[in-house]
Amino acid sequence: MGFTRAELESYRDAVIDDLLPEHPLLVFVGINPGLWTAATNTPFAHPGNRFYPALAAAGIIPRVPAFSEGFSDDDRRLLTDRGIGISNLVRRATARADELSRDELREGAARLERDAAHWRARVIAVVGLTAYRQGFARPKATAGRQPESLGGSELWIVPNPSGLNAHDTIASLAEAYAGPARAAGILDS
């Protein structure tokens, strides 16, 4: 499946559905949907995104789903049956995360706190250190487990899997994502 630039642009500002099981153990929270994600209604869907390959490399999921084409029901269950959910800090789709304003990130952080209290997940992992720092007004935050919780859930900050974040590899992302998965009880300690 491919899209023209014009087709992708038609999804600017669209909102995608959260992918959440009834009782999530671990919710990964992306910065915001990209245009490819909005076009497929599938989180982290851009073909160059390393999110699902990293989850599979960490053993969090048994295989890499066909994410860039849009999830099938089986692909969705691959995550939700394991207690894994996916949401976004900011709901609107953009071509790049740097198109978001600091106010949007702060509004998203406030909404995420409310959502987290409702989800009651064991762990929430925000995918993107810079967005977390800006949205939650924690400019000195570092990656990993955070000292504070979010809506009663253990809070982790993990690296962004976008191809634009080139210094991380699938192996380093897998290692970073395994920490919150162990804390949520999805992976053995």
CATH assignment at residue 80: 3.40.470.10
Domain range for 54 is 5-183
Q: How confident is the model at residue 162 (pLDDT cuts 50, 70, 90)?
A: confident
Structurally, the chain folds into a number of domains equal to 1
181 membership: H or E segment, kind and range: helix 170-183
Q: How confident is the model at residue 56 (pLDDT cuts 50, 70, 90)?
A: very high
In a domain, 66, yes or no: yes
Is 189 within a domain? Answer: no
For 65-113, what is each residue's pLDDT tens digit?
999 999 999 999 999 999 999 999 999 999 988 899 999 999 999 999 9
pLDDT given for residue 189 in this prediction: 79
- Of 107, 115, 152, 159, which is closest to residue 134 (Cα–Cα)? 107
